[in-house]
Amino acid sequence: MSGQHSKPVLSPEEYLEGERSAELRHEYVLGEVYAMAGAGERHNRIAGNVFFQLRARARGGSCGVFMSDMKLRIKQHVQCKWGDTSYEAGLCLDD
Q: What is the dihedral of CA 45, 48, 52, 54, to 10 degrees?
A: 120
pLDDT at position 88: 79
Average pLDDT on 38-51 reads 91
Task: Name the residue type at position 91.
Answer: L
Residue 74 near residue 80 (C-beta atoms within 8 A): yes
- Above 90 in pLDDT, residue 49? yes
- Above 50 in pLDDT, residue 73? yes
Task: Name the residue type at position 44.
Answer: N
